[in-house]
Amino acid sequence: MRILSGKDAAEQAMKLAARSSRFDEVETKVQRIINDVRVRGDAALREYAQQWDGLGEKDSLLVPQSQIRAALKSSSPKFRSSLKLAATNIRRFCQLQKPKEWKRSFNGITLGQLVRPLDSVGCYIPGGRHPLVSTLLMTVIPAQVAGIKNIRVVSPRPSKEVLAAAAMLGVHEFYRIGGAQAIAALAYGTKSIPRVDKIVGPGNVYVTAAKKLVSFDCAIDMLAGPTEVVVVSHNGKPAYIASDLVAQAEHDPDAVSIFITTSARLADAVSKAVEELAQDNNLAKQSLQNSGVILIAASRQEAMEWANQIAPEHISIAKSDVSRIQNAGSVFVGDFSPQAGGDYASGPNHVLPTAGVARFRGGLSVLDYVKIITVQELSEKGLYGIGSAVEFLAETEGLKAHAESIRVRCGNG
């Protein structure tokens, strides 16, 4: 990893803070795919799935429940117990996170909020190099805790492990489609796949571009790019720090791995530890060569300022720095909180904002699956209490009918 200090480090921090996810190169192709699915529906979906995802001519787009159940039945006891532990912790966290309904009264005015689940959600599970069992847990369990009735999972070439996880969670709609065409199907619906209210889950650049293009017609969670990791430490263990940097780097050749410290000695030690850990991991090695950097700050305050400017997806820090966090997708505190723990089983969601999006939103949560509906009930006394002010403000804005709706009730009409 490159080691930068002084002005070079500060400039690199600013450059990282200004990064963005760009989809321009694929948007034209993705738009054609979306339009094709909207016009030809299932026929287009089958053609794309046969061309890119190995769907057989006689295979159904909907994975049969018998196949899903068989995947769980044939899985190992260790896999099932690990899956159950992760699911239990994720579900517990989601239940604690779920917003509550409330009602309060004062001066003749009763206010409150209702919490209602969306009717339907589409969960995208990437295919790619690895069976992302954890992503199925992270997208489906919050939907279940929220109370969503119609949960539709899509994934190209679903592995036995992913199907087993779907069986354990009781998923009834699992479609073997992926890419931009799957996003189009979820957003607009086909004969086989009803449209959904919202699409969640990460994917490659084609999936993310498709989510961007359908977002005016169907809600989405966020536009997630390649994974990112920032570690801020001044006297930590080089092996621990390096292991987190390499772990996130193996996700994607474009993953961003950053270590920020005030110690030149620790910077050198971490650089050597990273090189050693990544030597047999070609993907991580490529990622670290492309986007790995160590920044030496002049002070702890500057180190945290850089971290907040970067607004990373994952950040590891000391407990004493938690209060200084302003922008991050998920925070990992102390030596024994590896980011991989959050990727799988500690409880919080691993679908997180990238490319600086953590400046204005956190990771996927139960709140993404519900609506907060406000409720207000005014008594005669309550309306009289605010009537004069409302009438005056309405007149100020030139909305005479608004003002009249107050006067007619308050006896001044």
φ and ψ of 266, to 5 deg? -65, -35
Under DSSP, is residue 200 helix (H, G, I), strand (E, B) or coil?
A: strand
Token output for 144: 């279940």
219-225-227-228 Cα dihedral, nearest 10 degrees: -100
Amino acid at 119: D
Distance CA 17, CA 170 (A): 41
Q: Which helix (H) or strand (E) holds 332?
A: strand 330-333
Our CA angle for 140, 144, 148, nearest 5°, is 105
Nearest CA to 357 out of 332, 385, 337, 327 is that of 327
Amino acid at 384: Y
Instruction: Compute the Cα dihedral for 110, 111, 112, 113 and give only its sign.
Output: positive
Distance CA 149, CA 109 (A): 34
CB 151 within 8 A of CB 186: no
Told to judge if 172 belongs to the known catalytic residues of this protein, a careful annotator would answer no
Told to judge if 395 belongs to the known catalytic residues of this protein, a careful annotator would answer no
* Catalytic pick among 173, 251, 314, 391: 314
CB 184 within 8 A of CB 217: no
* Catalytic pick among 161, 313, 350, 391: 313
Termini Cα distance of the chain: 75
Amino acid at 329: G
φ and ψ of 58, to 5 deg? -100, -5
Each residue of 235-251: b (16+ CB within 10 Å) or e? ebebebbbbbbbbbbbb
Bridge partners for 174 per DSSP: 153
φ and ψ of 78, to 5 deg? -65, -40
Active site members: 313-314
